[in-house]
Amino acid sequence: MDEDVDGPVAPDAGERIPPHRHTGRHARHAVVIGGGIAGLLAAQVLAAHADRVTIVERDRLPGEAKARSGVPQSGHIHVLLVGGQLALDTLLPGIVAELREHGAPEVGMPGDMVQWQSGIWYRRTPSTAHLLTASRPLLEWLVRRRVLTDTRIETVQGTEVVGLLGDAVRTTGVLLRERGAGARAARECVVTRALTADLVVDASGRGSRAPEWLAAVGAEPPAEETLDSGLAYASRVYRPGEDDGITDTIGYYVVPDPGQVCGGVALPMEDGRYLVTLSGVRGSEPPSDEAEFADFTARFPHPFLYEWLKRAEPDSPVRAFRNTANVRRRYDRPGRRPAGFLAIGDALCAFNPVYAQGMTVAAQNAVALREALADRRRTPTTRRVQQALLNSARQAWDISSGADREMPGVLGDAARTRAADRPVTWYLERVQRRAGGNPVVGAAFRAALHLSAPLSVLFAPRVVRAVLFEPVPHTPAEPPMWRESDGPVSDTW
């Protein structure tokens, strides 16, 4: 396994990573830390290159669509963007259709949604992008069920990784401890057990301890870029009330921005209930008190969501979530780090959840991993594969960090705006002022935000003409409670 010239060189410098299936010396083994969506999809990719893949998971994985303690944000809104649907179907053909068969709702944008963003109400023109709004437990269960049918993939559950085996040159496995045994192990001087591997993939999420583990074996932890708007969430499940023929809306969305620091979204789940998530930045956090939950929406530019909540019936307690900073760990940069260790998903790049990118990027990371390992033109060294993973998350990072950088009170070393970014920022502000009223600009804007097209789609000729030379289009003065039917919208920019 080899590294690029500016990093450490492993003893067997000609070996590819991860180890390809091999009938010679010994069986090849990959370990994935974390059994969430990123870990499951990574294991599915690695199973084509190793004899055996072991997923190590702290939780006991449920055999049904049930929330688990290791995913504290699962009680909040999760959506699968168009880019995520495409990536997931590439990895697990037919999985998106399976989600729909299990009742995952599909919400078209902008046609099915009352949306307030950048100071305007969006026209409800025919939809050009569709969200899948299944609950996180349903999506994870269906992915897990598909992935674990592969006999090359096994799980070690109720067990946590507490360190790496090897040194700064090569990772040779992980140290395991039964979950809940920490205090007993310390008292009894119990030695944790070792699980050897040719490749270790960290998919343990935004709370990854891999930087500490690397330091413990003499390697350099990655530099971290952080940007924290201080956003906090509170969510509650509702059974929708009767609409009395006042709307054909499926979803409601107030997008926070520097001028409207409080936001909220209400979207359907697979069982006919709705999940409502309210958000606010530091100093404007939504309440966790049930009696005050609906009243928070009085801060919105219109009482449409408050009125919806008054008709609906609460069906869960309020759940709060605070850990929403954007964090990017730069494993791709030069440094003394071992061959045979990769980070993926939120362990590599975690985003402010308000932009709904996490599950989509996890799937796109896995596609990038598959492509990097299959590339016959270049040897897939640790650093090259890690660079490919980071590149697959770059657009999501640019979107989330770029938006959060403009929020008041933002903190972190990635919060600075460079002079070189100002022309692009000026242009994107013009895009946003037109996206709600100009269907062509709106379609391009959604394609970029849904991670189904590169950001360059915003600079296509038709979009540039509208952004630079056409006036700001008319948009509704009040929430549009009925969709427009003015013919199909072209997605040719």
Task: Tell me 25's DSSP state.
Answer: S
Last residue of a domain, one of 376, 400, 424: 400
Q: What is the pLDDT of residue 427?
A: 95
Is residue 375 one of the residues assigned to a domain? yes
Query: Do 278 and 297 contact (CB within 8 A), yes or no?
Result: yes
Angstrom distances, CA of residue 265 to CA of 2, 105, 292: 47, 15, 17
Cα–Cα distance, 310 to 150 (Å, whole number) = 47
Q: Based on the fold, state whether residues 61 and 179 are members of the same structural domain.
A: yes
Give pLDDT, residue 72: 66
Q: What is the pLDDT of residue 354?
A: 87
Nearest to 480 by CA among 214, 251, 236: 251
d(CA 134, CA 107): 11
List the CATH number of the domain containing 353.
Answer: 3.50.50.60
For the beta sheet containing 29-33, the strands, ordered from the edge strand earlier in sequence to the opposite edge, are 153-157, 52-57, 29-33, 199-202, 341-343
Predicted confidence at residue 187, as pLDDT, reads 47
d(CA 457, CA 360): 19
> Per residue in 259-304, pLDDT tens?
899 999 999 999 999 999 999 998 899 999 999 999 999 999 999 9
Range of the domain at 175: 29-71+143-227+324-400
Residue 369 pLDDT greater than 90, yes or no? yes
Task: Tell whether 471 is covered by a domain.
Answer: no
Same domain, 389 and 313: no
Give the number of other Cβ atoms within 10 Å of residue 419's Cβ: 6
The torsion region of residue 472 among left (phi > 0), alpha (psi -120 to 50) and beta comes to beta
Q: Is residue 2 predicted with pLDDT exceeding 70? A: no
Q: How confident is the model at residue 401 (pLDDT cuts 50, 70, 90)?
A: very high
Question: In this structure, are 57 and 155 located in the same domain?
Answer: yes
Residue 183 lies in a domain: yes
- Same domain? For 195 and 311 the reply is no
Half-sphere CA count of 381, side-chain side, radius 13 A: 21
Mean pLDDT check: name the lowest of 95-109, 190-204, 328-342.
190-204
Residue 18: the pLDDT is 52
Residues 313 and 330 in one domain: no
Q: Across-strand partners of 57?
A: 157
> Edge-to-edge strands of the sheet including 326-330?
223-227, 326-330, 349-350
- Nearest CA among 437, 424, 488 for reference residue 466: 437
Q: State the Cα–Cα distance between residues 118 and 469, nearest whole angstrom.
A: 20
Q: For residue 242, what pLDDT is reported?
A: 86
Distance CA 178, CA 193 (A): 9
Q: Are residues 45 and 157 in the same domain?
A: yes
Q: Per-residue pLDDT for 191 more than 90?
A: no
Cα–Cα distances (Å) from 214 to 42, 130, 204, 336, in that order, read 21, 41, 15, 10
Last residue of a domain, one of 321, 344, 379: 321
* Exposed / middle / buried, residue 353 (Cβ in 10 Å: 0-12, 13-18, 19+): buried
| Mean pLDDT confidence for 410-430 | 85
Q: State the pLDDT at residue 25.
A: 42
491: in domain: no
Residue 274: CATH number of its domain:
3.30.70.2450
Statement to judge: residues 220 and 352 lie in one domain: yes
Do 236 and 317 sit in the same domain of this protein?
yes
Give the pLDDT band of residue 17 (cuts 50, 70, 90). Answer: low
Kindly give, in sequence order, each residue whose CB lies less than 8 Å from that of residue 129, ignoring residues fewer than 6 positions away: 81, 82, 108, 109, 443, 446, 447, 450, 452
Q: What is the pLDDT of residues 19-61, one digit of tens each?
A: 554 444 455 999 999 999 999 999 999 999 999 999 999 999 9
**Assigned domain for 281 exists:** yes
Query: Kindly report the CA angle at 254 between 78 and 258, in degrees rounded to 5?
Result: 110
- Answer for the pair 320, 234: CB distance below 8 angstroms, yes or no: yes
Q: For residue 1, is pLDDT > 50? A: no
- 487 — pLDDT class (breaks 50, 70, 90): very low
Whether 443 shows a pLDDT value over 60: the answer reads yes
How many structural domains comprise the chain? 2
Site of tokens 């897990």: 144
> Does the predicted TM-score (pTM) go above 0.85?
yes
- Do residues 254 and 300 lie in contact, with contact meaning Cβ atoms separated by under 8 Å? yes
Token pair, residue 401, equals: 């960090």
253 and 298 both lie in a single domain? yes
Which comes out higher in pLDDT, residue 491 or 437?
437
Q: Tokens for 135? A: 């609950």
Element (H, E) at 162: strand 159-166
**Cα(427)–Cα(339) distance, rounded to whole angstroms?**
42
pLDDT at 8: 34
Per-residue model confidence (pLDDT) at position 246: 87
Which of 291, 321, 351 is the endpoint of a domain?
A: 321
Q: Are residues 64 and 152 in the same domain?
A: yes
Is 257 part of a structural domain of the chain? yes
- Of the pLDDT bands very low, low, confident and very high (cuts 50, 70, 90), residue 190 is low
CA separation for the pair 374, 7 (Å, rounded)? 23
Asked if 361 and 311 sit in the same domain, the reply is no
Q: Do 287 and 335 lie in a common domain?
A: no
Q: Is the dihedral of CA 71, 75, 77, 79 positive or negative?
A: positive
Share of the chain above pLDDT 70, in %: 90
In a domain, 96, yes or no: no
| pLDDT for residue 13 | 30
Cα–Cα distance list, 2 to 9, 18, 87, 341, 485 (Å)? 6, 11, 29, 12, 58
Please, are residues 167 and 9 in contact by the beta-carbon 8 Å criterion?
no
* Chain CA centroid to CA 479, Å: 29
HSE-up (13 A, CA, CB side) for residue 163 = 14
Q: In this predicted structure, what is the pLDDT of residue 10? A: 37
138-161 per-position pLDDT tens digit: 999 999 999 999 999 999 999 999
- Closest Cα partner for 231 from 401, 352, 102, 58? 352
